[in-house]
């Protein structure tokens, strides 16, 4: 009997330590579509929907405190702390960083200076110095580019909200009080409520940014996809931007071919005459 119990315990340990992790590993994401999930919708103004969760992405730029006095720095910190303590809705703060690759820029800068017939020899020499300085920064690998985001998450059907939990924000609590979990809500009402809550949350973030002196902007559809591209393809974004792919018609089936237009201009009139 004791031997049977021992075997059962040993089998359970093996199952939980090895079998379950192996199954989870087999179900790991393999494509970008799997990671982002195919049911994600992004409206032109940048409202993201994944099932019943709605999001806004706000890009912010850090405050330059280098020239501020100690008192001004303290005020920035106090205002930022107050913003973090008073936000009554779910949010995520994301900071992305990557090394700046200045080799291509330095080479382009040098070529432009050397090929410009209007620059004096002294100006070309100064341009060479700028290019050399960029290359020295590149060799040190100490220069990084930072992107900062505040992502707002709203789920009107969340149990924690519908159970009567107060958010601390009067406008939010008033909106939620009109939403009854037991009431059957259609999709249009759900989107309308989420949009109102997201707009209120966004405006509150904007107000705090104004007090801090922080620059901000809400990302539209193109901005959201660019942020995802930068997150998933960090190394590739050094060489190619999402805007480049759009301008090169990578996402359209009917390409506007320059070669095709050139041939039509050259042979189009002759084709009409032969017809």
Cα distance between residue 42 and residue 53, in whole Å: 12
**In the predicted model, what is the mean pLDDT of the chain?**
75
- Which of the pair, 83 or 248, is modelled with greater confidence? 83
Query: Which SS3 state, helix, strand or coil, does residue 215 take?
Result: strand
Under the banding of pLDDT at 50, 70 and 90, the label for residue 230 is: confident
* pLDDT tens for each residue of 239-266: 666 666 666 666 666 667 777 777 777 7
The mean pLDDT of 191-218, rounded to a whole number, is: 89
Residue 142 has pLDDT above 80, yes or no: no
Q: What is the pLDDT of residue 267?
A: 74
Q: What is the pLDDT of residue 163?
A: 43
- Which of the pair, 97 or 32, is modelled with greater confidence? 97
Whether 179 and 162 have beta carbons less than 8 Å apart is answered as: yes
Q: What is the pLDDT of residue 241?
A: 67
Going from N- to C-terminal start, the domains of the chain cover: 25-95+147-261, 101-142
Q: What is the pLDDT of residue 149?
A: 92
Q: What is the pLDDT of residue 126?
A: 92
Q: What is the pLDDT of residue 164?
A: 47
**pLDDT cut 70: percent of the chain above it:** 65
Phi and psi of 252, rounded to 5°? -125, 145
Residue 94 has pLDDT above 50, yes or no: yes
Under the banding of pLDDT at 50, 70 and 90, the label for residue 6 is: low
Cα distance between residue 46 and residue 61, in whole Å: 19
The mean pLDDT of 30-46, rounded to a whole number, is: 68
- Which of the pair, 261 or 204, is modelled with greater confidence? 204
What's this model's pTM, rounded to 2 decimal places? Answer: 0.63
Cα distance between residue 109 and residue 130, in whole Å: 8
Altogether, the residues listed in the chain come to a count of 275
Under the banding of pLDDT at 50, 70 and 90, the label for residue 36 is: low
The mean pLDDT of 157-181, rounded to a whole number, is: 53
Indicate the DSSP class of residue 237. G
């Amino acid at each position: 009997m004791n031997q049977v119990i021992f075997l059962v315990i040993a089998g359970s340990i093996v199952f939980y330590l090895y079998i379950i992790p192996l199954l989870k590993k087999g179900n790991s994401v393999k494509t970008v579509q799997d990671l982002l999930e195919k049911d994600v919708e992004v409206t032109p103004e940048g409202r993201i929907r994944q099932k019943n969760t709605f999001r806004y992405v706000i890009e912010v730029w850090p405050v330059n405190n280098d020239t501020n006095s100690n008192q001004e720095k303290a005020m920035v910190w106090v205002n930022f702390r107050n913003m973090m303590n008073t936000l009554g809705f779910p949010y995520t703060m994301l900071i992305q960083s990557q090394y700046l690759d200045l080799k291509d820029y330095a080479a382009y800068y040098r070529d432009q200076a050397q090929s410009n017939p209007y620059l004096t020899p002294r100006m070309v020499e100064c341009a060479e110095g700028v290019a050399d300085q960029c290359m020295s920064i590149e060799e040190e690998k100490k220069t990084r580019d930072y992107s900062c985001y505040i992502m707002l998450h709203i789920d009107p059907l969340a149990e924690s909200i519908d159970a009567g939990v107060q958010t601390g924000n009067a406008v939010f609590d008033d909106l939620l009080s009109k939403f009854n979990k037991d009431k059957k809500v259609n999709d249009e009402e759900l989107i309308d409520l989420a949009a109102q809550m997201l707009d209120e949350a966004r405006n509150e973030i904007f107000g705090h940014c104004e007090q801090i002196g922080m620059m901000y902007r809400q990302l539209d559809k193109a901005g959201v996809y660019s942020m995802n591209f930068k997150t998933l393809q960090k190394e590739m974004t050094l060489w190619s931007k999402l805007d480049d792919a759009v301008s090169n018609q990578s996402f359209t089936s009917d390409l506007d071919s320059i070669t095709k237009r050139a041939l039509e201009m050259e042979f189009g009139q002759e084709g009409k005459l032969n017809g």
